[in-house]
Amino acid sequence: MAAYRAGSAALIGRPNVGKSTLLNAIIGRKLSIVTPKPQTTRHRIAGILTRPEYQIVFVDTPGLQDRHRRVLNQYMHRAAVSALHDADVLVLVVEALVFGDEDAFVLERARRTGRPLIAVVNKVDRVRPKSRLLPYLTSLAARAEFAAVVPLSALKRTHVASLVDEIAKLLPESPPLYAADQLTDQTRNFRAAEIIREKLMLRLQAELPYGVTVTIERFAEEGGQAEIDAVIWVERASHKAMVIGAGGALLKEVGRSARLALNRELGIRAHLNLWVKVRERWADSEQALAALGYHA
């Protein structure tokens, strides 16, 4: 009988290549929030896939980048680099037909670790004509000693199983790291805050989403119903007005969509209370970041 295998696989890549969508596709549940805006993912988020032969702890990471304008960017970079060095297997996610300087930067950082490396070519469903894909795959394979190159579509969930099989081969022999029924290491409060932040990022325009974060002040659950008090933190009084919207319309819309998502994704009937507060330049302060739940 083959030995059981268990370990971690870090999903790495530049911002906005589909790492969070891929994690959700693999686990079959929405664990990482997803928006079209770069740098939506700010924390390391683990999704746990358990099978009779193996257990893989997938780690979604903020996009690796070499520009750190703000302390928040530095925090995200540290989170990504930490995952890079902690993982048993690295999964480099790139976009089909695209390989730029940012992708090369991530690949070079991954190669330096000496960890087994798999390349995922995401968004292959968008390639037209399909004949353009093979030369790209050949070119990508020549850039490093990849254990495998896997073309797939995270959005359509096609060929995701092939990626899982390739990762499982590279895991060390080990007993399971988590209980068989555990899907993530994130707390209920963290997931609730992320769901609210996702709805904000989808609704807000321009640069404002990057100066917004959410904390859960109270989460009282009883009999399948929950009362949740959440604070939306912004950096300026003018931003507070933008989040609230004319007559409170935007905040009500965000609250409604977040409540429905909380009901669906946490399996509860949620009553959500939202407040908007100002904390000047919180994204530029290590102390403020720690107070708002950004822990290294």
Specify whether the CB–CB gap between 125 and 45 falls below 8 A. Answer: no
Q: Could you state, in order of their start, the residue ranges of all structural domains in the chain?
A: 5-170, 188-291
Q: Give the N- to C-terminal CA distance of the chain in Å, as an integer.
A: 40
- Does 5-170 carry CATH code 3.40.50.300? yes
222: helix, strand or coil: strand
Judged against a pLDDT cut of 90, whether residue 67 lies above it is answered with: no
* 207 pLDDT more than 80: no
Write the CB contacts of 288 (distance below 8 Å, at least 6 apart in sequence). Answer: 279, 281, 282
* Helical pair 19-27 and 160-170, crossing angle rounded to 10 deg: 90
The topology under which CATH files domain 188-291 is GMP Synthetase; Chain A, domain 3 (3.30.300)
Mean of pLDDT values over 50-68: 90
What 3-state class would DSSP assign to 203? helix
Could you read off the pLDDT of 230-285 as tens digits, one per residue?
999 999 999 999 999 999 999 999 999 999 999 999 988 999 999 999 999 999 99
